């Protein structure tokens, strides 16, 4: 390939990356990008000048059907416990609120009236019942997201640069999106799941109970680790990325499980667990 052709390919990849990034985070009424733009700008004020926030409150889980978490820099964690109520704790700075609005619990960390530099992570933890079985949406700009060991109806996780870890979760529909953060989903069961990244690494290790996986990447790698007896139908599309698959590709098998993977230059590995 000539130098001119290589330059053309790189330009196409860059353009596609920006377009897909906009599409990924432009769906619906909210995105981490829009939240960041509305709530923070950088200037001469220091993060350390803000007052400390120490929030701790509990809510009856029967009062709402969905949890919405929007955070700029806080690390967000959902922890399932043997409890009947919902406990929300936050330690950090800036502005924080947790309010019941209709049938939803809205949890927000923001810096809407400040121009800051040197922003650091706060810590937001939501303790939920093990049989929670409600909708969960978490949107972060740079904080890490961790969810583990609970049941939900709909699970949506989005971040720009923070990592996302999902472990031991059961949900009908799962949507996980990131620009550059690492995505890991271990021991997860679902009906349909969408995983999107631009440059971050995706690792998905579902249990036997799942129906369809859609995984998309620009330059980040995709690693899908299936149970030993899995025989899904796999569809694969790529411009320059490599594929290694232990279950075949574009097989068209009649299967109750389907995998659709698309990448521009990232590598894809589909294998079975040892």
pLDDT of residue 50: 78
**Mean pLDDT score across all residues of the chain:** 81
Residues whose CB is less than 8 angstroms from the CB of residue 274 and which lie 6 or more positions away in sequence, other chains included:
none
Report residue 35: phi and psi, to 5°.
Answer: -65, -45
Question: Residues of 168-181 as b/e, b for ≥16 C-beta within 10 angstroms?
Answer: ebbbbbbbbbbbbb
Domain span at residue 90 reads: 3-272
- Taking residue 125's Cβ as centre, other Cβ atoms within 10 Å add up to 17
Q: Say how far residue 104 (Cα) sits from the centre of its chain.
A: 20
Domain count of the chain? Answer: 1
The answer to whether 63 and 100 have CB atoms below 8 angstroms apart is yes
pLDDT(141) > 90: no
Q: Write down the pLDDT at residue 198.
A: 87
Task: Tell me if 108 sits within 8 A of 70, measured CB to CB.
Answer: yes
- CATH number, domain containing residue 202: 2.160.20
Within 8 A by CB and 6+ apart from 10, the residues are: none
Q: Dihedral angle at the C-alpha atoms of 154, 158, 164, 165, nearest 10 degrees?
A: 0
Coil, helix or strand for 123? strand
Question: With pLDDT > 90 as the criterion, what percentage of the chain qualifies?
Answer: 41
69 CB-near residues (< 8 Å, 6+ apart):
76, 107, 108, 124, 126, 136, 137, 138, 139, 140
pLDDT at 238: 83
pLDDT tens digits for 20-77?
Answer: 444 444 444 445 555 544 555 555 566 777 788 999 999 998 889 999 999 988 999 9
Q: Is a pLDDT exceeding 70 seen at residue 6?
A: no
- For residue 153, the tally of other CB atoms under 10 A from its CB is 14
Q: Measuring CA to CA, how many Å separate 75 from each of 48, 70, 72, 163, 210?
A: 18, 11, 9, 10, 28
How does pLDDT run across 205-244, given as a tens digit for each residue? 998 889 999 999 888 889 999 988 888 888 888 888 888 8
Q: Which residue shows structure tokens 């701790």?
A: 56
- Determine if the pTM surpasses 0.85: no
67 contact partners, CB below 8 Å, separation of at least 6: 86, 104, 105, 107, 126, 128, 134, 135, 136, 137
* Residue 238 to residue 223: CA distance in whole angstroms: 15
Other Cβ atoms less than 10 A from the Cβ of 216: the count is 22
């Amino acid at each position: 390939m000539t130098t001119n052709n290589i330059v053309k390919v790189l330009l196409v990849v860059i353009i596609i990356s920006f377009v897909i990034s906009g599409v990924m985070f432009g769906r619906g009424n909210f995105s981490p990008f829009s939240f960041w733009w509305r709530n923070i700008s950088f200037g001469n004020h220091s993060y350390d000048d803000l007052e400390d926030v120490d929030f701790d409150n509990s809510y009856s889980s029967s009062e709402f059907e969905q949890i919405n978490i929007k955070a700029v820099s806080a690390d967000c964690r959902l922890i399932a416990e043997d409890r009947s109520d919902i406990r929300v704790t936050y330690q950090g700075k800036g502005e924080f609120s947790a309010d019941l609005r209709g049938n939803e619990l809205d949890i927000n960390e923001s810096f809407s009236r400040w121009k800051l530099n040197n922003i650091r992570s706060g810590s937001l933890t939501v303790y939920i019942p093990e049989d929670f079985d409600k909708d969960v949406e978490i949107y972060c700009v740079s904080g890490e997201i961790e969810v583990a060991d609970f049941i939900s109806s709909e699970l949506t996780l989005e971040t720009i640069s923070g990592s996302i870890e999902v472990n031991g979760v059961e949900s009908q529909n799962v949507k996980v999106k990131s620009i550059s953060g690492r995505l890991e989903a271990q021991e997860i069961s679902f009906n349909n799941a969408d995983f999107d990244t631009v440059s971050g690494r995706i690792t998905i290790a579902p249990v036997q109970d799942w129906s369809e996986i859609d995984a998309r990447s620009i330059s980040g790698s995709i690693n899908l680790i299936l149970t030993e007896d899995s025989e899904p139908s796999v569809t694969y599309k790529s411009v320059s990325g490599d594929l290694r698959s232990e279950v075949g590709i574009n097989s068209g098998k009649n299967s109750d499980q389907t995998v659709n993977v698309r990448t521009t230059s990232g590598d894809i590995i589909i294998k079975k667990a040892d």
